[in-house]
Amino acid sequence: MAQLQAGDKAPAFSLLDQEGNRTSLADFKGRKLLLYFYPKADTPGCTKQACNVRDAMAPLAEAGVTAAGISPDEPKKQKKFDNKYDLGFPLLSDPDHQVAQAYGAWGEKSMYGKTYEGIIRSSFLIDETGAILQVSYKVKPQDTVPNAREVLC
C-alpha cells in the first residue's frame, strides 16, 4: 500500500482493544485522533513511545485530541502493557496487519542484516471528520507527540 499524506481520508478500521472491546475509527468522530503504529508491546522503543503519549494526554485533551496505538500484539499482551505502564488509552490489536497495511505502516524492514516484513513505526493526526492532518513514517518514539503538536499550534 502506498503511504498516506496529509489531506487523505483515514482508512476505516475496527479492531479489538486491550479490554476485548471493538474500537473503530468512527468511535472517534468529532474528536481529533493521534493514531500511532508500533511494532511490539513492552519493548524499549515502544514503551518510550507509549509513555510519551501517556504523559502528553492532558495537553492533547486540551487541544481536543485523543490517542490510540496499534500493533500486531493480541489484546491480552496489550492489556499487560497498559497495566504495567498505566497508559490509559486504547491499544488496538491488528494481528493480521490489515490496518497497518491500509495506513502504509507495514513493509520491509531490516535488522542486523536481515530483511523482514513488519510494522513501520508511524503516527497520524486525524481530524474530527476523518481527514489526515499530519503523517510521520519511520517516526522516532520520542517524536510522535511533538510532530502532532506542530500541526496543532
User: Got the DSSP string for 26-48?
Assistant: GGGTTSEEEEEE-S-TTSHHHHH
- Quote the CA–CA distance of 135 and 125 in Å, as a whole number: 7
Q: For residue 52, which amino acid is it? A: N
CA-nearest of 110, 29, 14, 135 to 70 is 14
Helix axes 44-55, 144-152, angle to 10 degrees: 30
For residue 98, which amino acid is it?
A: Q
- List residues with catalytic annotation: 46
Q: What DSSP assignment string belongs to 102-124?
A: HTT-EEEEEETTEEEEEE--EEE
